[in-house]
């Protein structure tokens, strides 16, 4: 469960592939199957953003990833907890890749960002109970 932190990355690579790389800051990488990111913000940015996108607006092709922005489904905290733990349809389950505290953190982050402002806080115990 060690993490690989990339520091000084921008400096060494700007030489290689031009200015576009200079904007890359440090980033956390997991070493195994499970995620090492702990904060809700970092989990959203390194995991959820892959499908739900930077602004949480989702995306559409032959099928869609739902928007999580100003999303009423997040009002009852049990719903996003279950989604993250078990997945739904094409969405993979993250119950084995994140612990209770990580899932609580990312759910809390979602429920207080992107036009969502639900003030009740989800705890690791809530996630444990939902498993």
Partner 1 sequence: MQDEAAVLRRRDLLSLIGAMAGSAAMYHAMTSLGFASESRYQGPLKLEGDPKGASVLILGAGLAGMTAALELRKAGYQVKLLEFNSRPGGRNWTLRGGDSFTELGGATQTCEFEPGLYINPGPWRIPYHHRALLDYCRRLNVALEPFIQLNHNAFLHASRAFDGAPQRIRAVKADFQGQVSELLAKATKQGKLDEAVTKEDQEILLQALRSWGALDRDYSYNANLHSSEYRGYATAPGGGLTAMPVPSEPIGLSDILKSSLWRYLQNFANYNFQTTMFQPVGGMDMIGKAFAKELGDIIRYNARVTKIQQNDHAVTVTYVDTAKPAIVQTATAHWCVCTIPLSILSQVELDVSAPMRSAIEAVPYAGSVKIGLQFKRRFWEEDDAIYGGISYTDLPIRQIAYPNTGYNRSGRGVLLGAYLFDGANSYEFTAMPPQERVARAVEFGAALHPQYTDEFENGIAVAWHRVPFTLGCSGDWSEDARKQHYANLCQIDGRIVLAGEHASALPAWQEGAILSALDAITRLHERVVKT
Q: Which residues of 8-18 are buried (b: 16+ CB within 10 A; e: fewer)?
A: eeeeeeeeeee
Using CB under 8 A, which residues numbered 63 to 122 contact partner 1? 63-65, 87-93, 97
Closest CA to 42 of 53, 30, 31, 28: 28
Nearer CB in complex with partner 1: 9/118: 9
Task: Decide if residue 6 touches partner 1 (CB under 8 A).
Answer: yes
**Residue 124 interacts with partner 1 (CB under 8 A)?**
no
Q: Which of 24, 73, 123, 125 binds partner 1 (CB under 8 A)?
A: 24
- Contacts of residue 96, defined as CB under 8 A and 6 or more positions apart, other chains included, come to 33, 34
Assess 33 for contact with partner 1 (CB under 8 A).
yes
Give the distance from CA 47 to its chain's centroid. Answer: 4
Task: Please state the closest distance from residue 127 (CB atom) to partner 1, in A.
Answer: 18
d(CA 21, CA 45): 18
Residues that bind partner 1 (CB under 8 A): 4, 6, 9, 12-13, 15-17, 20-21, 24, 27-36, 45-51, 53-54, 59-65, 87-93, 97
């Amino acid at each position: 469960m060690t993490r690989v932190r990339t520091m000084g990355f921008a400096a060494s690579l700007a030489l290689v592939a031009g200015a576009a790389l200079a904007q890359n800051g440090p980033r956390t990488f997991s070493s195994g199957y499970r995620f090492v990111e702990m904060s809700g913000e970092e989990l959203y940015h390194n995991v959820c953003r892959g499908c739900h996108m930077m602004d949480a607006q989702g995306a559409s092709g032959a099928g869609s990833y739902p928007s999580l922005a100003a999303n009423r489904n997040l009002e009852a905290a049990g719903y996003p907890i279950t989604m993250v733990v078990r997945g739904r349809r094409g969405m993979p389950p993250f119950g084995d890749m994140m612990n209770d505290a990580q899932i609580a953190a990312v759910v809390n982050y979602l429920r207080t960002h992107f036009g969502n402002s639900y003030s009740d806080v989800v705890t690791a115990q809530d996630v444990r109970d939902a498993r």
